[in-house]
Amino acid sequence: MFRISQYMRELAQAQSTGVYPVVKDRKARGPVVIWNLIRRCNLTCKHCYALSADHDYAGELLLPEVFTVMDDLKAFGVPALILSGGEPLLRPDIFEISARAREMGFYTGLSTNGTLIDALMAQRIAEAGFDYVGISLDGLKATHDKFRRLEGAFDRSLAAIGHLDKVGVKVGLRYTMTAMNGHDLPALLDLMQEVGAHKFYFSHLNYAGRGNIHRDKDAHHQATRAAMDMLFDRAWAAAQAGSMDDYVSGNNDADGPYLLQWVRQHLPQWEDALRARLVAWGGNASGQQIANIDNLGHVHPDTMWWHHDLGCVRDRPFSQIWNDVSDPLMAGLKQRPRPVQGRCGGCQHLAICNGNTRVRAQQLTGNFWFEDPGCYLSDAEVGAASTPFEPAPAKRRRIEVVTA
């Protein structure tokens, strides 16, 4: 996750004091775990990475198994659990799991579509002590209901935000931009302010590109740049106003170098200080500081790698699976610098970005160390030339979108 607002607040402080603040990011021993506890969902969204439907899935982890995994995660130094699905509120024991997570001292987040949260459910969520609830919105009403394939889904999710805000739960919006919903972004950012959400998570699309990308002219890349400019401007305005509203992004670590360019243009005196901060952040954290456990207990480098199984917590503890670098993907993900190729290998921003989202390269070319085809910076901006490539056979080019 790229914390745009955190850097903007630091820049605002630097502007007012004349000194860039000294900030030490504490890295936890273990990764943040996004845990898909259930695959069942009351919606069948067009873009679901879990391909969920409204029926039970056999073989999901039982409550005692979940508790055993939690003990191992705690001992391993995992700081945070993001409970997701499917729709996690459909899991009958979700509040037993969250209560234990809180007792054990995990930061506990809930990733939900929001349609099941009425006033009563909001109260239960508040009492359970969730630190944060993220609700997915794909756009305004017409767009969202179409994406979610449910008339009224938007109204229900919006009402959920209000219910949660009323009982004091920190709630934010999650949005994945595609060619079909990009036009709703400005209105959604306005809506965030109106409905009491205090965080906006902008997820980039893990999309399939073409065999030989001309980034300067690519419409998708241009739209991405415009969206990031908008987010940076909003986050900067909020930081200058002293607001604690958070703008964050995910699934494209080129956002780091792109912010550096924004600072070079708007606040050039802080470019070196920000570069040092971004290098300390370190870019893509899949397989390092981010982990995923699916509903059957299989471990993956992150939620986009469900087609790459590292092992099952029923067979080996998570801590053993995570430290096992006999898997070539995990071995490379944990290297610094990663063994990335093409223009990522020659990129002047590699220490900031860490080679970005490897799953896009793998899905498109079959080689998980190839340059990331989703990078929206030009060759001139990264100081390295793009590499032409033959797309992998079609069956390997299935790209899914991160959503809750």
Q: Which stretch binds ligand SF4 (CB under 6 A): 146-154, 165-173, 226-234, 370-378?
A: 370-378
Candidates 188, 372, 402, 404: give the one binding ligand SF4 (CB under 6 A). 372
Q: Which residues lie below 8 Å from residue 344, measured CB to CB, with a gap of 6+? A: 350, 353, 355, 356, 370, 371, 372, 375, 384
User: What's the closest the beta carbon of residue 347 comes to ligand SF4, in angstroms?
Assistant: 3
Q: Which stretch binds ligand SF4 (CB under 6 A): 98-106, 154-162, 317-325, 369-377?
A: 369-377
Maximum pairwise Cα distance, the chain = 59
Give yes or no for residue 377 binding ligand SF4 (CB under 6 A). Answer: yes
Distance CA 56, CA 35 (A): 17
User: What's the closest the beta carbon of residue 258 comes to ligand SF4, in angstroms?
Assistant: 8
Give yes or no for residue 278 binding ligand SF4 (CB under 6 A). Answer: no
Give yes or no for residue 361 binding ligand SF4 (CB under 6 A). Answer: no
User: What's the closest the beta carbon of residue 381 comes to ligand SF4, in angstroms?
Assistant: 8
What Cα–Cα distance (Å) separates residue 36 from each residue in 194, 278, 303?
Answer: 30, 30, 9
50 versus 382: smaller Cβ distance to ligand SF4: 382
Q: Which stretch binds ligand SF4 (CB under 6 A): 21-29, 151-159, 183-191, 371-379?
A: 371-379
Candidates 84, 115, 181, 356: give the one binding ligand SF4 (CB under 6 A). 356
Give yes or no for residue 215 binding ligand SF4 (CB under 6 A). Answer: no
In the region spanning residues 312 to 351, those forming contacts with ligand SF4, defined by CB under 6 A, are 343-344, 347, 349-350
Q: Which residues of 60-74 are buried (b: 16+ CB within 10 A; e: fewer)?
A: bbeeeebebbbebbb
Give yes or no for residue 359 binding ligand SF4 (CB under 6 A). Answer: no
Candidates 61, 239, 353, 361: give the one binding ligand SF4 (CB under 6 A). 353
Candidates 85, 209, 311, 355: give the one binding ligand SF4 (CB under 6 A). 355
Q: Beta-carbon neighbour count of residue 288 at 10 Å?
A: 21
Rg (CA), the chain: 20
User: What's the closest the beta carbon of residue 182 comes to ligand SF4, in angstroms?
Assistant: 21
User: What's the closest the beta carbon of residue 229 comes to ligand SF4, in angstroms?
Assistant: 17
* Sign of the dihedral through C-alpha 174, 177, 181, 183: positive
One-letter amino acid of 295: N
User: What's the closest the beta carbon of residue 387 comes to ligand SF4, in angstroms?
Assistant: 11
Q: Beta-carbon neighbour count of residue 166 at 10 Å?
A: 13
Give yes or no for residue 255 binding ligand SF4 (CB under 6 A). Answer: no
By the criterion CB under 6 A, which residues form the site for ligand SF4? Answer: 254, 257, 343-344, 347, 349-350, 353, 355-356, 371-372, 375, 377, 382
